[in-house]
Structure 1
Amino acid sequence: MTSDFEPDTGIPWHALPLDEVYEKLSSGPEGLGDDEAAHRLQHYGPNTLPARKPPGIVAIFLHQFGSPLIFILLAAALISFALQDVRDGIFILAVVLLNAAIGLVQEWRAEQSAGLLRRLLTRTAHLRREGRHITADSAVIVPGDIVLLESGGRVPADLRLVHAAGCRIDESALTGETLAAEKDLAPVRLDAAVGDRTNMAFAGTTVVSGRAVGVVTATGLKSEVGRIAEAVAATGASKPPLLIRMERFSRTIGILVLGASALMAAVALGRGTPFTEVFFLAVALAVSAIPEGLPVAITVALSIGSSKMARRNVIVRRLAAVESLGSCTMIATDKTGTLTLNRQSVRRVILPDGTGYAVADGAVPDPASLPRLHALARTAVICNEGEIVMEEGEWVHHGDAMDVALLSFARDLGIDAGAVREAVRIIGSVAFEPELRYSAAYYRDEDGRIMVAAKGALETLLPYCLTMETGEGRVPLERSRIEAALADLASHGYRVLAVAEGEIGAVPATHLGLEEGRPPLNLLGLAGFIDPVRPDVPEALERCREAGIEVAMITGDHPETALAIGRQIGLASERGEVVTGPDLEAIGSPDLPEFFDRVRSGRIFARVSPLQKLEIVDAMVRDGHFVAVTGDGANDAPALRRANIGVAMGSGTDLAKDTASMIITDDDFSSIVAGIEEGRYAYDNIRKVTYLLISTGFAEIVLFTVALAAGLPLPLLAVQLLWLNLVTNGIQDVALAFESGEAGTMRRPPRRPNEGIFNRLMIRETMLSGFLMGAIASATYVWLIAGGADESATRSTLMLLMVLLENLHALNCRSEYRSLFRVPLRDNYYLIAGILVAQGVHIAAMTNPLMQDLLRIGPVGPATWGVLLALASGVVIGMEAFKWAMTRGRT
């Protein structure tokens, strides 16, 4: 059944008592039913804000005509028609349309790839529907839904809060107030401004700390942020820095080529060449030599790289990260869930008197210790935000992995978590935050006493513990015995939580919890959790070493636990490689040389606070490293922002994801390494595209320069140059962006961050190959003219030679380091097919009467083909010799 619910958008939700809020929203604490939610979703639409619409096919096609070179070509076509040279005018227009069609396909593919990645970045929210805890796409949220908030998460819709525990929300994006707003449940005055509505949470804001539950009052455009969303949606996305630099580079090359074209035109005019012929030639030479398609080709290469990364569980939020990945020299990684599986399970329990219980299938605890194990498990259930429920015959869990593991432990002991929670009345809580290192729940027990249940790091809870539970009852705490038990567990790789309880006179008034009341606690025991190491991590670490990338672990865990994991994966072996938060705190200022030395020597950083993580990352960056930092919590956001590459975990908070450049969807360290590998591949492919376009343009400039310097007729006509540009660059440049990665890419050292695409190697290869192609073509032209060959036939032969040269050179560009004969054809069938199609199109043009007349070309005989192939292979031989010499020079 569905209701006739129709909310009044003018209702002052902040001023109403909770029962009236529920009544007007036709909802309740258990949430909506699935049918009702579906009905409301159909009626009110998805909970989304307007976004910038991707350009359609027509807009992309028209965009191809925005280049100054296209205007020049169109002007040339108009002049051709004015001079009654209809044939050339039609051909120039055909070239313009074909170039536009090629550009359309390229940009459309890039836009489709970007759209796919945007869909992968959908936000999720935690909802309560019919009493069940579910995780759903935030777009399906409707008015009346119950939403659960936790620190680091984005508020998905406007909410009236029905529960808040130490909840502070950053509303600066909406109100401009820099301080996080403290939230409570009391109604506020009717005329309260948005920033004063302390019982509301608004869409788009971020939970800084604590937990909260709210009922949805407005979604989408009806929310407060929805009113300004359309203005934001109209703002276009910024371009990656690499693309900006390459556009600037293309303009610089364009100016140089236009200058060279103007100079050649002046020389040709001085020799009596007709003005119209010189004009068309200058236009054609400029169009052929200027790498106008470079920015689009690079956008395609970046998009292809991003798509390949997505297939390897790496989503790039900013294309600039693709460029920067190749410079990574240090990965500062979390431990839990990244190096390990984040499948926490309680494997050992040590009671305060030293009694141990090894948790395993079928294990039966000692009957004498069973009541104390029950007391520990019961307290852990009360102080717990997790949930395990049976759905359709299977156990389904929600919440933090540690909380879920404790619930499973209690269930295995025969404790019904639901019954325990119903038997007590929770009257306050302190949510776990990394800064606190504990969580607590205040409750009234069956006898009416106000109690506190707490769990967290032993170092944090121990100062509050005055007694400990033993077989003889409560006795004064023996600190040395407890610390020895902790050391034993940690040294075997266990992550340890202490569990304690105590009676307290009243619930603390603030979120500071234990710090305010300092209740005397009774230690119930230590729980040792095992989180298995991911099996592929050791191999991934070895790949990092081969790639010249250092790895450091930064964790809040105990030093011995972190070292045990470090030894398992081969990250560290000695205690001296472990640096603790207290070690750094003892040094003092992070600007001191001693601080840098300690960070430099450490491979594992344990018991580190969020502020110290930021200081460590900052020290690494200032020490010259190009740092990739992983994080998943709101507390990781400053370090992610400071890093050169911020890497958020897919299971992490919205704040971490919003701050990061990349998101690892499976939380796996190996995926980070895969992302770096794909980033290097993508950057290499961008270099290959650039190499091809610049070197072929340079070859054409060399050919015309030699011809004019030698006083020879123009080697190619304007239409021939335009055709040459079409069949040698129209497909091949983008096809190079599909190159598979080279085997040695991850054995090269990281690229220097300040190194541009045109480093020493690129300049040498571009100049050499361009000069080789230009010299071979020029020598052939001079030889043919000197031999008395017909000028038209000579141009036809020279044009075929240029097509062969540039197509063979595209194979050279597949690797800057390896012989083209060692790069498998199967690694890029797109390029092979593109070369064959382009060559086939030119052969067809040589034998088709219409194209023969239009391009002033004709067929050549088998003997000439053999000679031209031999000549064209000169560029392959020359570049193979260069690579061989370069490789020998390295070794």
Structure 2
Amino acid sequence: MTVAEPDVLHGLTAAQVAERVAAGQTNDVPSRSSRSVGEIIRANVLTRFNAIVGVLFAIILVIGPIQDGLFGFVIIINTLIGIVQELRAKRTLERLAIVGEARPRVRRDGGIVELAPSGVVLDDVIDLGPGDKIVVDGVVLAADGLEVDESLLTGESDAVHKQPGDPLLSGSFVTVGGGAQRATKVGREAYAAQLAEEASKFTLVGSELREGINTILRVITYLLVPAAALIIWSQFRTAGSDVDDALRGMVAALVPMVPEGLVLLTSIAFAVGVVRLGKRQCLVQELPAIEGLARVDVVCADKTGTLTENGMRLAEVRPDDAGVRAALGALGAADPRPNASLAAVVEGCPDPGWTATETVPFSSARKWGGATFDEHGTWVLGAADVLLPEESAQRAEAERIGSTGLRVLLLGRRPAPDGPVEPVALVVLEQRVRPEAAGTLAYFAEQDVEVKVISGDNALSVGAVASSLHLPRADAPVDARTLTDADLADRLEAGTVFGRVTPAQKREMVGALQQRGHTVAMTGDGVNDVLALKDADIGVAMGSGSPATRAVAQIVLLDNSFATLPHVVAEGRRVIGNIERVSNLFLTKTVYSVFLAIAIGALGVQYPFLPRHLTLIGSLTIGIPAFFLALAPNTERARTGFVRRVLRLSVPSGLVAGIVTFVTYLLVRADPTATDVQQSTAAVVALFVVATWVLVVVARPFVWWKVVMIGFTIAAFCYALFLPIFFGQGFWELDPDHTPTMLTGLTVAAVGVVVIEIVARVVYRRRA
């Protein structure tokens, strides 16, 4: 090991740490995994649509009666629900983020302690090993084959060899070797501090669902202005000197145009998803990952740590003698941060006390590591098919053993520094297949999601493990060394198991699949997975994996269970499918509201509804049902084209509802025996019937609770329409006693129901 300033490697004393803390020289960048409480409240309260509805609510509070201002209380309740749900998600996310964060090993008072990144102070000496994330800027104090990947900062994929005195940047990570660094910049001065903070925020940025809803809302905003101007002009023109009636008509027309609940329910659905997954020890570092994994059609999984458990057991050494075990024990002792394979060797072979004069740390790219010992020569341990020629009998034997699913390493000697390796023994390691792996693979197969096992291990060994889990085409594993750039994409499409894959190849494979139009998720736990995790559409890291993999992944499985992934997929599908359902309801209301505003304004008649009428219809056919539909189970596979699909149903449904209401109102206005209230009641009944049928269409397929929900909607409306008691027809100002107008409304509504059913069947047939 090359060492600079050996006395510094002792680390800071407790007194020196206290001095730096008092001086504010700490790594004080907050590890934010969510928005602050203030930001959550502002995001839910200070919205464009809340401002519009708030002004209209204030108008009703001035002119009365309070029944016509019920929409304002609904907005308040919904906003409070949104704040509470997101606060729950915030607590869950922050609790899990603490569990999953990188914990640097810091030298203090001659010992090594693990700290949270915020516990590091200026001049701290930090111990470095393979997979460690560099949490602060610094300089190298000691290096033992130290190589650092700075691709997350520079975009350069090749690891950089570091010597004492070289700079280190926060945000990079160690790929090979070890050493020590001194912290020279901490807190907000560190190069990647702000990037790291942004990467862990609770965010909806980059979500196709969110972007689609924002597109719809922008269009609605443009429609609101002319429709509002027309209805305001028409109501003041037709209401004569009664300004209060004109204002009520204006408010009644404008309020239902605002789909205020759509954004709210989207936020709630995502927040509930975070809480549900948090209970399964799944940390969602970026919310779009819930949605993104639901769209995935290819999952690239590493074998070790994903299909098999991280831990291994030394099963056999061939030949097994004292000299071989001594060499294995010496190699294990020479590596201060052994990987899973070497850790199993160390457990079975004690340290003989040999002195290492030179070491070559194990590298995923090389597939071997080694050391030179005084009086004992140079020994190497690695993959037999990398260290030995094809004609070697030991290599053939290693491949035969590996084909049974065991991991086989070659112990060899190298008489000359660059000479061939002389085989000495085969080291057989036993891997334990995760008990949940078979069920997870079966789930993905049922959901038409293809799983491709991409591993650095021997292809035959990987194929044997995958075959035991019944992965399709696992009996024809592909050695990645035989792949070329020209045939990479084709062979990826054809195969499911790939062995001897280098870190650079993993990245190329992800890119090749993406170029073929696939949405790719990559799972992994080692440093060799980082580049592929970063490039994949969704990166999934194991909680026990290296800090570097957890840093770049969007999802971290803190319980290291591959079986959690189906729950993430199901949660994403629930969110996407349900938001699409409720979007149909909200946009149908917006379309018929805009249509009625334009039609009534153009005709120059009084608006048929009071604000309370549309509050009643909107609450029963949209608000209350949408809340349950947004949180219901939904296994429908996610697809692109959210906006197009929603508009195909909501636009014609809204137009039908608007036309039915408008025609009903025109017909009943011609009846001189009906009062104004009875005419309005007929229009209310017609709109309710059509809006309820839109709910019926959206709620399919039916289960018991959906039938109860629709039954409650109808029963509640009948209560308001027919019963002259508390919160009955008097409160809502409804009068169903004029039979001709009621029959007219029901007849026109029946025609509208038939038309909507035809539209729905055409839309769903095209979608299928």
TM over 0.5: yes
Q: Within 5 Å, give how 1:555-634 maps onto structure 2.
A: 555-573=455-473, 577-584=476-483, 587=484, 590=485, 592=486, 594-634=487-527
Instruction: Give the alignment partner of residue 453 of structure 1, picking from 368, 379, 388.
Output: 379
Give the superposition deviation at 1:653: 2.6
Cα pair distance change 1:875/1:649, threshold 3 Å = farther
Match for 2:105: what amino acid?
L
Cα pair distance change 1:493/1:869, threshold 3 Å = farther
Report what 1:537 is aligned to. 437
**C-alpha deviations, 1:398-429, integer Å up to 9, x for none?**
x532122212322xxxx4x4xx3xx2333332
Report what 1:125 is aligned to. 103
Q: 2: CA distance between counterparts of 1:574 and 1:173? A: 33
- Residue 756 of structure 1 pairs with residue 650 of structure 2: no
Cα pair distance change 1:101/1:152, threshold 3 Å = same
Q: 2: CA distance between counterparts of 1:173 and 1:227? A: 13
Tell me how many residue pairs correspond in the alignment.
759
Cα pair distance change 1:347/1:450, threshold 3 Å = closer
Report what 1:393 is aligned to. none
Q: Within 5 Å, give how 1:429-828 maps onto structure 2.
A: 429-444=359-374, 449=375, 451-462=377-388, 480-501=392-413, 517-518=417-418, 521-573=421-473, 577-584=476-483, 587=484, 590=485, 592=486, 594-701=487-594, 713-718=606-611, 720-721=613-614, 724-725=617-618, 729-742=622-635, 745=636, 751=639, 755-760=640-645, 762-767=646-651, 769-771=653-655, 773-774=657-658, 777=661, 781=665, 785=669, 788-796=673-681, 798-799=683-684, 806=691, 809-810=694-695, 812-815=697-700, 818=701, 820=702, 823-825=703-705
Q: TM-score, normalised by structure 2?
A: 0.82
Q: 1: CA distance between counterparts of 2:760 and 2:736? A: 33
Q: Is the 8 A contact 1:148 1:214 kept in 2?
A: yes
Report what 1:403 is aligned to. 342
- SS of residue matched to 1:405: helix
Q: Is the 8 A contact 2:32 2:94 kept in 1?
A: no
Q: Within 5 Å, give how 1:180-259 maps onto structure 2.
A: 182-185=161-164, 197-198=165-166, 204-214=170-180, 221=187, 224=190, 239-242=205-208, 243-259=210-226
Q: 2: CA distance between counterparts of 1:328 and 1:312? A: 20
Give the superposition deviation at 1:144: 9.1
**C-alpha deviations, 1:714-764, integer Å up to 9, x for none?**
21024544565566555543443211124xx3xx5x62xxx321344x344
Q: Is the 8 A contact 1:57 1:108 kept in 2?
A: no
Q: 1: CA distance between counterparts of 2:365 and 2:347? A: 26
Q: Is the 8 A contact 1:382 1:441 kept in 2?
A: no
Give the superposition deviation at 1:246: 1.5
Give the superposition deviation at 1:268: 5.4
Q: 1: CA distance between counterparts of 2:45 and 2:398? A: 70
Report what 1:343 is aligned to. 311
Q: 2: CA distance between counterparts of 1:324 and 1:174? A: 24
- SS of residue matched to 2:456: coil
Q: Is the 8 A contact 2:539 2:552 kept in 1?
A: yes
Cα pair distance change 1:155/1:869, threshold 3 Å = farther
Instruction: Give the alignment partner of residue 18 of structure 1, picking from 2, 6, 31.
Output: 6
Give the superposition deviation at 1:686: 1.5
Report what 1:857 is aligned to. 733
Q: 2: CA distance between counterparts of 1:860 and 1:58? A: 48
Q: TM-score, normalised by structure 1?
A: 0.72
Give the superposition deviation at 1:645: 2.3
Q: 1: CA distance between counterparts of 2:480 and 2:295? A: 28
**C-alpha deviations, 1:746-791, integer Å up to 9, x for none?**
xx5x62xxx321344x344324543554466556655655553321
Q: Is the 8 A contact 1:731 1:834 kept in 2?
A: no
Instruction: Give the alignment partner of residue 332 of structure 1, picking from 294, 300, 317.
Output: 300
- Residue 153 of structure 1 pairs with residue 65 of structure 2: no
Report what 1:50 is aligned to. 30
- SS of residue matched to 1:500: strand
Q: 1: CA distance between counterparts of 2:229 and 2:466? A: 65
Match for 1:425: what amino acid?
T
- Residue 112 of structure 1 pairs with residue 88 of structure 2: yes
Report what 2:333 is aligned to. 382
Report what 1:471 is aligned to. none
Q: 1: CA distance between counterparts of 2:230 and 2:321? A: 95
- SS of residue matched to 2:362: coil
**C-alpha deviations, 1:216-237, integer Å up to 9, x for none?**
7689649755997999899996
Match for 2:178: what amino acid?
A
Cα pair distance change 1:226/1:647, threshold 3 Å = closer
Match for 1:766: what amino acid?
S
Q: Is the 8 A contact 1:727 1:841 kept in 2?
A: no
- SS of residue matched to 1:766: helix
Larger deviation: 766-775 or 314-323?
A: 766-775
Give the superposition deviation at 1:179: 8.5
Q: Is the 8 A contact 1:326 1:680 kept in 2?
A: yes
Give the superposition deviation at 1:141: 5.4
Match for 2:384: what amino acid?
L
The gaps in structure 2 that reach 5 residues or longer are: none
Report what 1:316 is aligned to. 284
Give the superposition deviation at 1:333: 1.6
Give the superposition deviation at 1:251: 1.8
- SS of residue matched to 1:318: coil
Q: Is the 8 A contact 1:349 1:526 kept in 2?
A: yes
- Residue 99 of structure 1 pairs with residue 70 of structure 2: no
- CA-atom RMSD in angstroms: 4.9
Report what 1:3 is aligned to. none
Cα pair distance change 1:302/1:380, threshold 3 Å = same
Q: 1: CA distance between counterparts of 2:110 and 2:578? A: 52
**C-alpha deviations, 1:263-305, integer Å up to 9, x for none?**
4555556656668444553444232123233223222222223
- SS of residue matched to 2:699: coil
Cα pair distance change 1:112/1:885, threshold 3 Å = same
**C-alpha deviations, 1:207-254, integer Å up to 9, x for none?**
243233437768964975599799989999673343233223112023
Cα pair distance change 1:455/1:135, threshold 3 Å = farther
Q: Is the 8 A contact 1:289 1:701 kept in 2?
A: yes
Report what 1:307 is aligned to. 275
Q: Is the 8 A contact 2:297 2:448 kept in 1?
A: yes
Cα pair distance change 1:583/1:48, threshold 3 Å = same
Q: Is the 8 A contact 2:34 2:93 kept in 1?
A: no
Q: Is the 8 A contact 1:342 1:401 kept in 2?
A: yes
Q: Is the 8 A contact 1:155 1:205 kept in 2?
A: yes
Give the superposition deviation at 1:572: 4.2
Q: 2: CA distance between counterparts of 1:159 and 1:438? A: 29
Q: Is the 8 A contact 1:159 1:217 kept in 2?
A: yes
